[in-house]
């Protein structure tokens, strides 16, 4: 046996006690030498794992009111001009009324040279595509009368060589029309939900718009996009469908500009286009409102928000280049339905997040049976009275341990309860401890993220949440901390 090896590999207890960071620092260093872990699931007892980089889904849409004159637009530029080229337009529409010739997707505001307009025609009661300069209007006669309050998938294809334009609905039969004129580009702004300068605004919703120039998609490709009526968001597009794709708008934002997920043709909001529940669902893109945050632990839990205006926003490239969910400090909230898994006798919680503002209580995560936060459960909340973040069990003001967090700074909050002590760590440093030995009172409440019964909306970010149903050992806690620090570079 090589005694020299052991003497040089394991520090003396005296050395550890004297060194900055002591035992904690040594275990972190040892963990790094061993390579750490690549997943929290390597540690037993994980009952919930929410990660903004995976499992954040969106099914939002843009809702338009003709009475309010709501629309979206983008200034003309060469990338949007389809004159002299094949092109394809796909979109989902939910028609709420049939009171006018509603414009859905246009480069046509009444100039002498008008490029195209996908719209509803009230006289014929049909979906149509106009190519005004070419002198043609194509009607979706095979589909017939558009259905109110039902999502429908419209596809427009244009072949410049044969001077043919086609329109189909729900990946069904296509009606094609030929023309003798010339399809040309113009300098009109792109309009979504109306003309590019307003007018002929839609009463209804739009979702997942795709625009290709230099390519007429094939029938099988249209079937892929239709996806048996479920549609697709940008992140679920096969790579081959991104060839010649100019722009794709998920339209999942809750307000303001609607972002182009593929290019740079972002849409400006006019007259406060509203958020709404859409047809397509898939991995959220930057700026999308998150309707579902799926659990990665294998337990099938999911945090959901059915109300479009109360959804947090996915923001990419935030903390060390990683994404996060941003809560608005007003009413954003996700809830996990009641589950026996969420009544652990002991627990260890890890959360990566930030908060801002000092004038109110704020909730990162909470499970409590009433609005007083004093009758069971647990939580990680910011206390306005002491300007600290508290991890607590059973009662938010009595059985808690503080974390001296700095507002706006990303941090790793850790709370642990073993029926002996409520204790916390901030960025792997011990924060505080409170003796407490009562079992966590079980309840049937939801687990709320970003807000709570009785209020406390978070004005900040949550990037990751990991919950264990037992008190982790020192080594296990350091393993999870290292996993998260390697990802977010917090300390």
For 17-66, the pLDDT digits (tens) are 333 344 444 444 444 433 467 889 999 999 999 999 998 998 899 999 99
Q: What is the DSSP letter of 54?
A: B
Could you state, in order of their start, the residue ranges of all structural domains in the chain?
36-54+296-488, 59-280
Integer Cα distance of 304 and 295 in angstroms: 11
Cα 311–chain centre separation: 8
pLDDT top residue among 17 and 271: 271
The pTM assigned to this predicted structure is: 0.78
The residue-averaged pLDDT of 169-180 equals 97
248-262, 265-279, 340-354, 379-393: the lowest-pLDDT one? 379-393
Integer Cα distance of 46 and 43 in angstroms: 7
Mean pLDDT comparison of 30-39, 181-190, 392-401, highest-scoring range: 181-190
For 384-439, the DSSP string reads TTTTEEEEEES-TTTSEEEE-PPTTS-EEEEEEE-SSEEEEEETTEEEEEEE--PP
N residues, the chain: 491
Task: Give 315: exposed, middle or buried? Use CB within 10 Å, 0-12, 13-18, 19+.
Answer: middle
The pLDDT, as a whole number, for residue 110 is 60
Closest CA to 118 of 157, 80, 79: 157
Q: Output the CA–CA distances (angstroms, integers) from residue 120 to 100, 124, 148, 207, in the order listed.
A: 8, 9, 12, 16
Domain range 59-280, CATH class: mainly beta
Dihedral sign computed on CA atoms, order 129, 130, 134, 135: positive
The pLDDT, as a whole number, for residue 349 is 98
Angle at CA of residue 198, ends 121 and 100, nearest 5°: 25
Integer Cα distance of 452 and 377 in angstroms: 12
Q: Which residues on neighbouring strands pair with residue 50, listed in sequence order? A: 465
Q: Please say if the pLDDT value at position 5 is more than 70.
A: no
Integer Cα distance of 107 and 213 in angstroms: 14
The residue-averaged pLDDT of 468-491 equals 95
280-302: b (≥16 Cβ within 10 Å) or e:
bbbbbbebbbbbbbbbbbeeebb
For the CA atoms of the chain, what is the radius of gyration?
27
Integer Cα distance of 267 and 280 in angstroms: 19
The pLDDT, as a whole number, for residue 38 is 81
Q: What is the DSSP letter of 44?
A: T
The residue-averaged pLDDT of 314-322 equals 93
Integer Cα distance of 410 and 179 in angstroms: 59
Integer Cα distance of 313 and 326 in angstroms: 5
pLDDT top residue among 124 and 7: 124
The residue-averaged pLDDT of 426-435 equals 92
Same fold, 36-54+296-488 and 59-280: yes
Integer Cα distance of 160 and 83 in angstroms: 9
The pLDDT, as a whole number, for residue 244 is 98
30 Rama sector, left if φ>0, alpha if ψ -120 to 50, beta otherwise: alpha
Closest CA to 464 of 311, 323, 342: 323
Q: Please say if the pLDDT value at position 111 is more than 50.
A: no
Q: What is the pLDDT of residues 292-306, one digit of tens each?
A: 999 999 999 999 999
Integer Cα distance of 485 and 490 in angstroms: 5
Band (274; pLDDT cuts 50, 70, 90): very high
Dihedral sign computed on CA atoms, order 457, 459, 461, 465: negative
The pLDDT, as a whole number, for residue 468 is 98
The pLDDT, as a whole number, for residue 16 is 34
Across all residues in the chain, what is the average pLDDT?
Answer: 89
> Tokens 């397509």 identify what position?
280
Domain range 36-54+296-488, CATH class: mainly beta
Residue 415: phi and psi, rounded to 5, are -130, 145
Q: Are 206 and 96 in contact (CB under 8 A)?
A: no
Half-sphere exposure of residue 360: CA atoms within 13 angstroms, side-chain side: 16
Tokens at residue 464, please?
A: 């990751």
Q: Which residues have C-beta within 8 Å of that of residue 73, sequence separation ≥ 6?
A: 189, 190, 191, 192, 194, 196, 197, 267, 268, 270
């Amino acid at each position: 046996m090589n005694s020299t090896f052991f003497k040089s590999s394991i520090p003396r207890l005296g050395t550890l006690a004297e060194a900055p960071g002591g035992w904690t620092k040594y275990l972190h260093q040892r963990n790094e030498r061993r390579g750490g872990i690549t997943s929290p699931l390597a540690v037993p007892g994980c009952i919930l794992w929410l990660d903004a980089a995976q499992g954040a889904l969106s099914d939002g849409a843009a809702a338009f009111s003709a009475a309010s004159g709501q629309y979206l637009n983008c200034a003309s530029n060469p990338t949007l001009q389809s004159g002299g080229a094949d092109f394809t337009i796909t979109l989902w529409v939910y028609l709420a009324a049939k009171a006018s010739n509603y414009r859905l997707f246009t480069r046509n505001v009444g100039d002498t040279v008008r490029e195209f307009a996908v719209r509803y025609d009230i006289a014929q009661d049909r979906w149509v595509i106009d190519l005004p300069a070419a002198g043609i209007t194509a009607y979706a006669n095979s589909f017939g009368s558009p259905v109110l309050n039902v999502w429908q998938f419209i596809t427009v294809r244009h072949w410049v060589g044969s001077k043919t334009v086609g329109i189909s609905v729900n990946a069904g039969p296509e009606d094609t029309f030929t023309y003798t004129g010339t399809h040309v580009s113009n300098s009109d702004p792109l309009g979504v939900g109306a003309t590019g300068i307003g007018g002929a605004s839609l009463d209804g919703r739009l979702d997942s718009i795709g625009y290709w120039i230099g390519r007429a998609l094939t029938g099988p490709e249209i079937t892929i996009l239709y996806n048996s009526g479920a549609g697709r968001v940008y992140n679920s597009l096969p790579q081959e469908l991104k060839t010649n794709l100019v722009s794709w708008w998920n339209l999942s934002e809750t307000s303001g500009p609607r972002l182009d997920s593929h290019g740079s043709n972002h849409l400006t909001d006019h007259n406060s286009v509203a958020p709404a529940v859409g047809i397509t669902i898939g991995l959220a893109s930057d700026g999308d409102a998150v309707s579902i945050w799926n659990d990665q632990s294998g337990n099938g839990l999911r945090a959901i928000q059915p109300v479009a205006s109360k959804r947090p926003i996915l923001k990419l490239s935030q903390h060390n280049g990683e994404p996060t969910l941003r809560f608005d400090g007003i009413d954003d909230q996700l809830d996990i339905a009641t589950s026996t898994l969420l009544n652990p006798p002991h627990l260890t919680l890890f959360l990566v997040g930030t908060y801002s503002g000092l004038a109110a209580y704020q909730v990162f995560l909470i499970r409590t049976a009433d609005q007083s936060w004093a009758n069971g459960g647990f939580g990680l909340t910011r206390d306005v009275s002491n300007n600290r973040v508290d991890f607590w069990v059973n009662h938010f003001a009595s059985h808690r341990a503080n974390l001296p967090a700095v507002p706006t700074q990303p941090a790793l909050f850790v709370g642990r309860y073993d029926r002996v002590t409520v204790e916390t760590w901030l960025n792997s440093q011990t924060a505080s401890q409170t003796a407490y030995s009562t079992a966590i009172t079980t309840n049937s409440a939801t687990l709320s993220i970003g807000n709570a019964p009785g209020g406390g909306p978070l004005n900040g970010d949550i990037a990751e949440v990991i919950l264990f149903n037992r008190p982790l050992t020192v080594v296990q806690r350091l393993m999870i901390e290292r996993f998260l620090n390697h990802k977010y570079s917090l300390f």
